Structure 1
Amino acid sequence: MSEQGIRGCYGIYPEKMSKQGIVPCYFPEEILLQIFCNLPTKSLGKCMCVCKAWNCLIKNPSFISTHLNNQLEKSSRNNNHNLFLLITRFPGRGGFKSEYFLHFDDQEFSEYTQLQYGPLYYHDVVGSCNGLLCLVNLSSSTIRKFMLCNPIIRKCVRLPKPRLGKWPCQATFGFGFDSRRNDYKVLKITKNSVTSNIKAELYSLKKNLWEILAPPKYDLYSVDYMFFVNGVVHWIGFERMDDDGQSRIKCLLLGFDMSNEVYKKIILPESLSNVPHNHHSRLSRLYVVPYAELSSIAVIEDCFDGGRTIWVMKKYGVIETWTKMFSFGRLETGHAPTFFSSVPRVLGFRKNGGSMLTACSNWQVFSHDLESNEIENLEIQGDVFYVFSYVESLVLLDQVTDARHSSDDQVIDAWSESNASDEATDYSSHDQEIDAGSESTASDETTDDSSDDQVIDAWSESNASDETTDE
């Protein structure tokens, strides 16, 4: 790179004359990093196209972590910076089409942007963490395929195929962050539908492989996806009890610590642990939802008579702090007389903890103020799956092509300058992935996709060649 190019990239320009005299325009790297750290993710996409020096600064893993922490801090300080990922589904040709929207956590639950990215259309979202989505293909394949995806920078990693879980089986998945090792992990627990045997395995992005774990001691209550809170993925399990010859089940809140890689057990309040439920007569259902206001969790009991009870652990990990926050019977709204007739699911809690988002029986989303008991129709329709907290980030930006790949493997940049604005573009025909499978894993697993494993980087090929080559 020429001296003039370097000077331009770092904000060093010829001294400018003013009435007061000569004013130098020099910005040290520390100042640039501070400026970049406070820019939104899409603006950084444009900055990376300016020159190689800026590109390297922004792609640095240390900067990616600093920028993420800054985004998380802004979200914790101001509810208006908090984002929800809302997933809806509509009937389409040959099945259903999923749509992904980011909404602000403001009073109107206003829409921020729609995420349009090829891999999202063909997978379900297991979980969200630090701007990454864990996707799973729930097709009839004997081994389910996973991806880690950052839809903002349009980059994703295809995981090697799991080693366990052939049909017939039930499965639940959890996705979270190992802060000790700066690693992202996927937990997969399966239950054989015939033998009821429980098995578990864990994927590590840094190790790039699945490892078989000792299974948890408790059965699966449901196949709901796990939720990641305070370094732990959570789900509901149960154990079978024998009371004077009568069999019953006792429900538990289970967890897996992503850093220490150990299972945790949290005792539920008695009314929840002994909830009337069996596989033949579902009188009620339990599920876990993050409770962001307290950085803790809530357990919801929905009764099929229309009632609902919400328990919150006010101090995470301390079972004595379980508190019944809300309990109410069937609610009626002017928008939908049968609103609670089929016991709609709680999708999540707003950041202030006083309102929750609920999907009703006619596939509409409502915001329910738990203090005033007012219900507002958010005018969002569709078959709603889940709501996740979300933060825009640069995670995966520093991922590079595996050197083992052949020369035919392409690098496709899918986050061009035009995409950094909010233009809607259909990428379904050319979105590709980074193959994250190692050679050892490829030999252990059934790998049939090696011929087309490719990389999605963050910018278009033309931008990469036109704007960052100034040597």
Structure 2
Amino acid sequence: MSDYLPEEVVLQILYKIPVKSLIRFRCVSKSWNSLITSSAFIHSHLTPSLSLPSNSDKLIVKDYDYRNEVVTYKFIHDENNDYSLHQHVEFPLRDGGYTYLQLIGSVNGLFCLFESEQIILWNPYIRKFITLPKPLPKTYRPIAWTYSYRYGFGFDPRNNDYKVVRMSERSKAKPPLVEVYSLKEGSWRRKTSAATLLKPGIAFEGQSAMAALNGAVHFRHCQSKLREKLEFDIFGFRGSLSVVCYEPPHRSCSIWVMKKYGVVKTWSKLFTVDLCGVIKRVIGFRKNGHIFVAAKLGLGDELNLSSYDPESQQLKNKKLGISGWPSSFCADNYVKNLILLDKPVLFDKANGALSQWVVSRKRKSR
């Protein structure tokens, strides 16, 4: 039928087709396969989804099995309180020796993970991942420098590009080194101009302490005089920058939001959470206004992902079937998309890793 319709009409129809169907439609013809796997189509198909509220009803949740030291991911729907069924997502590199990959961040349903210096971009919905080349060769003497790396992951709307940021802490007299990987260009670049904007001796806290928002990657950093007084995490909250401040001695935390991005005076406190010796960490925000938290509900060291109602100040759905350590939890929105579909299957000789399609059985836990 597409032979009798203008190309513009065919495109408008395909933009409204779900991702799962588009994967199958690649078999219709070579021209359709070329169209659906093109970078321009992938971005245009995703664009309408980006206009939806950031607190969508689709979540991907990370869970750490501390007994077997294995990370698992699950898709859940936040449209009701029934979490009895989860769709497990088999992570592709588990059989390759990757038992624990730390999450750097996620944007538009694309996830960035790393272990040691191995960085991976993963689209769990289409079950495809790629391994990135290693950052630029070091041009310094290891003995004269001490480095601690911090990573970030974000989306640049100016050129529709996904980017990984790596900052290397140096001596107190020098600003961090800043390196950026562009998915569109497929390479790393050292940003000397960006490094000059950062203060010498800056120290970044926590690898996961970052949030991608408004085309920027936000990190939390600390000064020595504040380290023992205040602890905080940063999140994206309904399209705004949010901060969760844990007040010593860790009996409560307050949640703040910047109502107008970039304007310091617009910081406003939403509410205070009484940790009551049970809640250990705020993990994320739900569509219904509740908060995902890591709570200690048993006698052991294991924590459970739970839901907290700030109005009643009570835990709801105390056990959602997901457990682990405070640092292993994450709960983030995801969007079904075709990102990475246009990337070839390659073997990276330098890193000894394969970027590939992964076929795995979908199953539900009971």
TM range (shorter): 0.7 to 0.9
Stretches of structure 1 lacking an aligned partner (at least 5 in a row) = 1-9, 13-25, 139-143, 241-247, 250-276, 332-337, 401-410, 412-432, 436-446, 461-471
Asked if residue 125 in structure 1 is aligned to residue 85 in structure 2, the reply is: no
Asked if residue 448 in structure 1 is aligned to residue 355 in structure 2, the reply is: no
Choose which of 300, 314, 332 in structure 2 pairs with 1:374.
314
Alpha-carbon separation, structure 1, partners of 2:281 and 2:155 = 26
Choose which of 233, 245, 267 in structure 2 pairs with 1:322.
267
Choose which of 171, 177, 181 in structure 2 pairs with 1:199.
177
Q: Which residue of 2 aligns with 1:363?
A: 303
> Once structures 1 and 2 are overlaid, which stretch shifts more, 207-216 or 26-35?
26-35
Alpha-carbon separation, structure 2, partners of 1:170 and 1:348 = 27
Alpha-carbon separation, structure 1, partners of 2:120 and 2:240 = 27
Q: Which residue of 2 aligns with 1:179?
A: 157
Structure 1 pair 209–364 and aligned structure 2 pair: CA distance change class (3 A): same
Q: Which residue of 2 aligns with 1:152?
A: 125
Q: Which residue of 2 aligns with 1:188?
A: 166
Query: How many percent identity over aligned positions?
Result: 32
Q: Which residue of 2 aligns with 1:87?
A: 62
Structure 1 pair 458–62 and aligned structure 2 pair: CA distance change class (3 A): farther
What SS does the aligned partner of 2:22 have?
A: helix
- 1:305-316 alignment to 2 at 5 Å? 305-316=250-261
Q: Which amino acid aligns with 1:299?
A: V
- Deviation by residue 1:76-115 (Cα, 9 ceiling, x = unmatched): 29x6x5322210010355xx11111122232326456322
Q: Which residue of 2 aligns with 1:351?
A: 287
Deviation, 1:297, is 1.3
Structure 1 pair 223–199 and aligned structure 2 pair: CA distance change class (3 A): farther
Q: Which amino acid aligns with 2:311?
A: E
What SS does the aligned partner of 2:321 have?
A: strand
Q: Which residue of 2 aligns with 1:296?
A: 240
Contact 1:170/1:193 (<8 A) preserved: no
Deviation, 1:213, is 2.9
What SS does the aligned partner of 1:365 have?
A: strand
What SS does the aligned partner of 2:40 have?
A: helix
- Over the aligned positions, Cα root-mean-square deviation in angstroms equals 3.0
TM-score (norm 2): 0.80
Asked if residue 228 in structure 1 is aligned to residue 209 in structure 2, the reply is: no
Alpha-carbon separation, structure 1, partners of 2:7 and 2:357 = 25
Q: Which residue of 2 aligns with 1:23?
A: none
Structure 1 pair 221–44 and aligned structure 2 pair: CA distance change class (3 A): same
Q: Which residue of 1 aligns with 2:80?
A: 107
TM-score (norm 1): 0.63
- Deviation by residue 1:108-153 (Cα, 9 ceiling, x = unmatched): 2645632213136542221111221111113xxxxx1112121222
Kindly tell me the number of residue pairs found equivalent between the two proteins.
334
Asked if residue 390 in structure 1 is aligned to residue 327 in structure 2, the reply is: no
Structure 1 pair 290–32 and aligned structure 2 pair: CA distance change class (3 A): same
Contact 2:63/2:72 (<8 A) preserved: yes
Alpha-carbon separation, structure 2, partners of 1:287 and 1:345 = 9
Contact 1:397/1:457 (<8 A) preserved: no
- 1:205-284 alignment to 2 at 5 Å? 205-214=183-192, 215=195, 216-217=198-199, 219-225=202-208, 226-239=210-223, 248-249=225-226, 277-278=227-228, 283-284=229-230
Deviation, 1:296, is 0.8
Alpha-carbon separation, structure 1, partners of 2:14 and 2:180 = 35
Contact 1:76/1:82 (<8 A) preserved: no
- Deviation by residue 1:201-226 (Cα, 9 ceiling, x = unmatched): 22122333222234321622412322
Contact 2:237/2:257 (<8 A) preserved: yes
Structure 1 pair 320–197 and aligned structure 2 pair: CA distance change class (3 A): closer
Alpha-carbon separation, structure 1, partners of 2:219 and 2:39 = 32
Deviation, 1:320, is 0.9
Asked if residue 76 in structure 1 is aligned to residue 53 in structure 2, the reply is: yes
Deviation, 1:196, is 8.8
What SS does the aligned partner of 1:128 have?
A: strand
Asked if residue 339 in structure 1 is aligned to residue 339 in structure 2, the reply is: no
- Deviation by residue 1:397-452 (Cα, 9 ceiling, x = unmatched): 1123xxxxxxxxxx5xxxxxxxxxxxxxxxxxxxxx564xxxxxxxxxxx634xx6
